[in-house]
Chains A and B, each alone.
Chain A
Amino acid sequence: MHIVVAIKHIPSIADELPVRHNNIDFDSVDFVLNEWDEHSIEQAVLIKEAVGGTVTVIGVDVIGELDNALHLALAKGADRAVKIAAEEPGADSHQQAKWLAEAIQNMSPDLILSGVQASNDLDGQLGPLIAAYLDLPYIGGTSAIEVTNGKAMVLKEFPGGIGMRYEIALPFVAGVQAAPKPPRYAPVSKVRQIAQTAKVETIEPGEGESGGLRFLKMAPPVVTGHAEMIQGTAKEIAARIVELLKSRGLL
């Protein structure tokens, strides 16, 4: 059972995002591992622990700092780490997915996992694009994937606590919303140990193909309104709110 997990190194949205030339100023932002990728890595390792096999983690190294995320994945139980050395911080999902699909094709995976979404998925997510380029079906929003005898049982999450279960023949691509268990913690000492001993394979990118979007403008949202703020102590605020509710006929 060979599972491939495609990860994405994305600009961190923890800080402010500086803009330059109608797009993000990629030189001034920190890049972090997409948080949903932690779930897809966890899901892959859980499947491996249940039925055996190997887990390969692969990502596009957009700013040359992907190693840390790859070492983290190895510390969590992945077996192989591959990076596509295409230092292009502005590479969109289409471009990355094309490079990844080419590399993944040679790996003969039984299952391909990715995070269901990422905050820079303006032109779509990696998962469905990789599936499209490899002519494989895609299912997103999974909260549980189990594999038995070459088939997978997948639970897809819908709003309001509803779920739909599918039986899917391998291989296919899944966008993981959540693993059945929260992502395990990888102790820093383990990650550092791996950083010293493990080998990360590097692949040269093939033909890229951007998503075909021309950026006209990128700016913070215009704040059109603001709440009327109630001042005072908690008691005063509470009194004002009760008064408000009464005046609206809600009390």
Chain B
Amino acid sequence: MLTPFEKFVFFILALISAGFTLHGFVTIIRTIRLGRPAPPLKNLPQAFWKAAVTVLLQRTILRTRKLLSVIHMALFFGLITYAFVNLMDVLEGIVPGFDLVYSGKHVPGAPLALVRAYNLISDVMSGFLLFAITVFLVRRFILKDKALTYRENVLLYPKVKAGGPHKDSLIVGVFVIMHVSAHLMSQAFRLAEGPDPWMPLASFLNSISGASQIGVHIAWWVSIGWVMFIIPYLTRSKHSHFFMAPVNLALAKQNPRGQLDPAIPLKVIDGKTFEPGARVITDLAWKRILDAYACVQCNRCQDVCPANFYGRPLSPSAYEVNKRYLLKEATFGGHPELLQAPLVEKVISPEAVWSCTTCYACVRICPVGNEPMADIVDIRRRLILEGFELDSGVQSALQSLATNGNWMGKGRRLRGRWAKELEFPIKNAAEEAVEYLWFVGDTASFDERVLPNTRMVARIFHQAGLDFGILYQQESNAGNDVRRVGEEGLFEQLVEQNLAAFGRAQFQRIVTTDPHSFNTLRNEYPQYGGKLEVEHYTMVLLRLLEEGRLTVKQRLSHYLVTYHDPCYLGRYNGVFAAPRKLLERIGVEFHEMPRNCENSFCCGAGGGQIWMGKVPPGERPAENRIREALATLQSYAGNGKKQLFIVACPKDMIMYSDAVKTTGSEGKIEVRDIIQLVAEAVGVVEPVSEAGA
């Protein structure tokens, strides 16, 4: 269809476009390779296949913002269709006689049915695309959706603050409108013989514009011209996610969620030595740099971040966006020295780094497989190593952990004291062989608010005839939060201490009441040589009920309850069923909160937050959660049932009991550990002397 001159111009422009595109991709790949080695990946072909299916089914996007996600599907399938459409258009342009069917004109050799189908699909998809892009542009520029903005106190890279993401979206938005419209017009102009039922939109436009050969040429150039501009532009835009997102999903972390990547890469290339953690962007693993190129800047991670909710200056999305713009300025912008700029000056503030609760919500929600939390832990590791001034509460917690094996400043010898005050003895696993080693954890061993629950667990185990013991003073903090605060050295010390204690003891499996301990014992201790079978007590309690070693004497249907999935039990380790089955057996009236299972909302204690000396003002995540529970149960209340907020983690017990008080909800809802329900259901009571203390 094109004249020879046009074809010539087209080839030149196509070459230029291809050249810039290639340059763009080469730059991206080279930059990614500047990062550190990441843990090795296996079965890549299978991983890529799974990623392709995930992307096609838009699974990761549909996790949240359902309406926008559906509209995104229109955009997604529309653009995939248009890849083929553009190919067809180019062929029509440069191959003489290659014309698809318009207005019933039949080209010999072209299978009519296929061509008609193609015309219909591309026509309808054009409509979807225009609709979808209009919705998104309206959302961003007219409705000014707050979800696409960042709070004042979040550090933004200068270009980001100046509106970079908005400009980027505008350019691509305009592209889609112009390109799709131009293509549609081009189709409209071809309909020399009137409307074609297989091209409804184009026919409609044709009724206004009429047919025109010149029009076809102009429209073609506008349409394809925009494509030749936009493809290289994509490599410099967040829309690189077209290519980078599926790759990022394919190359996603293969080790368990609860297993942090090592502080120093295990695979050392060319004898390079590494300092733990990250100070500049190239200290991050290459996968983390890829994250920046995959990031869609959608801010879904910001939505679910409890620290961000609390008004802290942390925004996981701002962090990834800042990273991207820094990389852009460093590479395409010609400022390579920026690659050596400290991360805590350019892309994330130190206060933001220390605000993270390590709940994993940002990683779980990200549609393109990013892991902002992993970056934050790496930055923390280096800050600690380089003597950055720590929060005084964190420092005393770490010092106490190093000396006493617990973060509360209590003498080591006091650890098993609670057990000695029970009405029956608890075995010392270091002296007698036991079947279950109960790893109690700091909070459950020392905190006055949690000790009644700890004692209750002991009584229930005892009643069920479970053969269990504890390590008494030989148990040290498992180290989960120490590692997530960035103190690798102390973490290793605690692991060594615990593994040595395990070595001196005789047991077959470990049960723990603390999800944080559960996480690290199960997922990280094996890397240090521990071959451990670790269960959370809800799993053990369920088994005891199923085996008949405990029987429900009284179903507690007079309770109206909801259950909070602890981050380290649920989202990290997928243990959702056991506590729920337990509640089912106990017979309470149970209703799920909107944010349940993987979508659970963190209480805010993790990542060292519970150690911090300062308590920032504002509505705390735990308070928000209590309000969510109250709202959930309200619709079922009114039958006089007592409302309960059930937890399965000692830190949750503390945070939520506090939140009930500070939200003024005392009397409306009560926080209880699941063990208290089990105790009531199977008929184990506290001795009278303790009840009043």
Binding site for B on A (CB under 8 A): 12, 14-15, 30, 32, 181-182, 184-185, 187-192
Given contacts A12-B411, A32-B403, contact A185 B387 (CB under 8 A): yes
Main secondary structure of the interface of B (DSSP, over half): helix
Instruction: Give Cα distance in the complex from A217 to B492, angstroms.
Output: 44
Given contacts A187-B489, A188-B489, contact A30 B402 (CB under 8 A): no
B657 to chain A, nearest CB (A): 15
Contact of A15 among B392, B395, B414, B488 (CB under 8 A): B414
Instruction: Give Cα distance in the complex from A189 to B385, angstroms.
Output: 8
- Given the complex, which residues of B lie within 8 Å of A189, measured CB to CB? 276, 385, 487-490, 492
- Given the complex, which residues of B lie within 8 Å of A190, measured CB to CB? 385, 489
B493 touches A192 (CB 8 A): yes
Q: What are 27 of the A-B contact pairs (CB < 8 Å)?
A: A12-B411, A14-B404, A14-B410, A15-B411, A15-B413, A30-B412, A181-B389, A182-B395, A184-B389, A185-B384, A185-B387, A185-B395, A187-B385, A187-B487, A187-B489, A187-B490, A188-B402, A188-B487, A188-B489, A188-B490, A188-B492, A188-B493, A189-B487, A189-B489, A190-B385, A191-B489, A192-B492
- Given the complex, which residues of B lie within 8 Å of A30, measured CB to CB? 411-412
B266 to chain A, nearest CB (A): 16
The size class of the interface chain B forms with chain A is: 20 to 34
B398 at the interface (CB under 8 A from A): yes
A184 touches B413 (CB 8 A): no
A185 touches B411 (CB 8 A): no
B392 touches A182 (CB 8 A): yes
Instruction: Give Cα distance in the complex from A12 to B404, angstroms.
Output: 11
Residues of B382-416 at the interface with A, using a CB-CB cut-off of 8 Å, are: 384-385, 387, 389-390, 392, 395, 398-399, 402-404, 409-414
Instruction: Give Cα distance in the complex from A45 to B187, angstroms.
Output: 78
B465 to chain A, nearest CB (A): 34
Known: A188-B487, A190-B385, A192-B493. 16 other contacts (CB 8 A): A14-B404, A15-B411, A30-B411, A32-B403, A182-B389, A182-B395, A184-B387, A184-B389, A185-B384, A185-B395, A185-B398, A185-B399, A187-B489, A188-B402, A188-B489, A189-B489
Instruction: Give Cα distance in the complex from A82 to B686, angstroms.
Output: 55
Binding site for A on B (CB under 8 A): 276, 384-385, 387, 389-390, 392, 395, 398-399, 402-404, 409-414, 487-490, 492-493
- Given the complex, which residues of B lie within 8 Å of A188, measured CB to CB? 402, 487, 489-490, 492-493
**Smallest CB gap from A32: residue in B:** B403
B187 to chain A, nearest CB (A): 66
A187 touches B410 (CB 8 A): no
Instruction: Give Cα distance in the complex from A101 to B399, angstroms.
Output: 30
**Smallest CB gap from A13: residue in B:** B411
B272 to chain A, nearest CB (A): 18
- Given the complex, which residues of A lie within 8 Å of B398, measured CB to CB? 185
B629 to chain A, nearest CB (A): 24
Instruction: Give Cα distance in the complex from A188 to B381, angstroms.
Output: 12
Given contacts A14-B409, A185-B398, contact A192 B489 (CB under 8 A): yes
- Given the complex, which residues of B lie within 8 Å of A32, measured CB to CB? 403
Instruction: Give Cα distance in the complex from A24 to B389, angstroms.
Output: 37
**Smallest CB gap from A38: residue in B:** B399
- Given the complex, which residues of A lie within 8 Å of B387, measured CB to CB? 184-185
- Given the complex, which residues of B lie within 8 Å of A12, measured CB to CB? 411
B116 to chain A, nearest CB (A): 69
**Smallest CB gap from A15: residue in B:** B411
A76 to chain B, nearest CB (A): 9
**Smallest CB gap from A181: residue in B:** B389
**Smallest CB gap from A191: residue in B:** B489
**Smallest CB gap from A182: residue in B:** B392
Closest 6 CB pairs of A and B: A189-B489, A188-B489, A15-B411, A188-B490, A14-B411, A185-B395
A187 touches B384 (CB 8 A): yes
